[in-house]
Structure 1
Amino acid sequence: MSRFIKWGGVVLLFALLLELGGCGFKDIEKRFFVVAIGVDQAKNSDKKFNISLKFAIPSSSKDQPSQSIIVTQEGDTISEAVRIIKTKVDREIDFSHAKVLLFGQKVVEKELPAGIYYWFARRRDIQEIAWIGIGKPSALAVLKVRPKSEHFPGDALFLALGKDGSETPFIISEFFFDFKKRTTEKGLDPVLPVLEAQKDLIVINTVGIFDKKRLKLLLNPVETMILNFFMINEQKSALKVKASQTIVIDTKKVKNTYKIMKPKGKPPYIQVNSKIIGMMEEAVKYAVYNQHVSGYEKAAEKEFSHNIKQMLIKFQKANVDPIGFGLRWRAHSFNRDDWQEWKRIYPTIKFNVNSQVIIEDTGLIE
Structure 2
Amino acid sequence: MKRYVSILLVCFLISGCAKQEIIDRIKIVQSVGFDVQGDIFKSSGTYASYQKKELLRLMNVEAQTFGGVWLPQNTKSDDQIVTGQIRTIVISEKFARKSIQPLAMSLLRDQVVSNNATIVISKQEVSTIMSEALKNPPFYLSDLIKQNMEKGNTPLTNAHSVLNQYYGEGQDVYLPVLDQDENGLIHLDGVGVFKEDKLRLLLTEKESLLLKLLKDKSKTMIGSYEFRRRENEPIYFKILYGKRNISHDQNDSVVISLKLHIQLRELPKTISSVSNSDLLDLKHDIEQHFTSEISDMLKKFQMNAVDPIGFGELYRSNHRNWNEQEYKNKTYPNIKFEVNSEIIISQSGVGVGAE
Q: TM-score, structure 2 length as denominator?
A: 0.85
Q: How does 1:320-359 map to 2 (within 5 A)?
A: 320-337=306-323, 340-341=326-327, 343-359=329-345
Name the CA shift for 1:256/1:166 in 2 (closer, same or farther; >3 Å): closer
Q: Label 1:278 to 1:81 Cα distance change in 2 as closer, same or farther (>3 A).
A: closer
Note if contact 2:133-2:141 (Cα within 8 Å) is conserved in structure 1. Answer: no
The change in CA–CA distance for 1:294 and 1:116 in structure 2 (over 3 A counts) is closer
Note closer, same or farther for the CA distance 1:319–1:165 as it changes in structure 2 (3 Å cut). Answer: closer
Answer whether contact 1:59 1:67 (CA < 8 A) is retained: no
CA distance 1:284–1:72, shift in 2 (3 Å): same
1:31 aligns with 2:26: yes
| 8 Å Cα contact 1:243-1:296 kept in structure 2 | no
Kept in 1, the 8 Å contact 2:29–2:46? The answer is yes
Aligned-residue RMSD, C-alpha:
2.9
Aligned residue runs from structure 1 range 119-268, under 5 A: 119-146=106-133, 150-152=136-138, 155-163=139-147, 167-169=151-153, 171-198=154-181, 199-232=183-216, 233-244=220-231, 245-263=233-251, 268=252
Report 1:45-56 matches (<5 A). Answer: 47-56=39-48
Change in CA separation of 1:294 and 1:72 when aligned onto 2, cut-off 3 Å: same
Q: CA deviation at 1:166?
A: 7.1
Percent of aligned positions that are identical: 23
Q: CA deviation at 1:277?
A: 2.0
Query: What are the Cα deviations for residues 243-288 of structure 1, in whole angstroms up to 9, with x where unaligned?
Result: 443322332223232212335xxxx311122222223221133441
Q: C-alpha separation between the residues in 1 aligned to 2:148 and 2:292?
A: 32
Superposition pairs for residues 270-285 of structure 1, below 5 Å? 270-285=254-269
Count residues in correspondence.
339
Alignment partner of 1:98 out of 86, 90, 110? 86
**Matched-pair contact (CA < 8 Å) for 1:241–1:300:** no
Q: Distance in 1 between matches of 2:30 and 2:12?
A: 35
- Following superposition, the deviation at residue 141 of structure 1 comes to 1.6
TM-score after normalising by structure 1 = 0.83
3-state SS of 2:171 partner: coil
Preserved CA contact (<8 Å) 1:168 1:236: yes
Q: Give 1:338 shift.
A: 7.8
8 Å Cα contact 2:149-2:156 kept in structure 1: no
Q: Secondary structure at the match of 2:133?
A: coil
> In terms of Rg, which structure is larger?
1
Deviation of the 1:241 alpha carbon: 4.4
Cα offset, 1:339, TM superposition: 6.5
Q: Is the 8 A contact 2:157 2:175 kept in 1?
A: yes
Q: Which moved further from structure 2: 231-240 or 251-260? A: 231-240
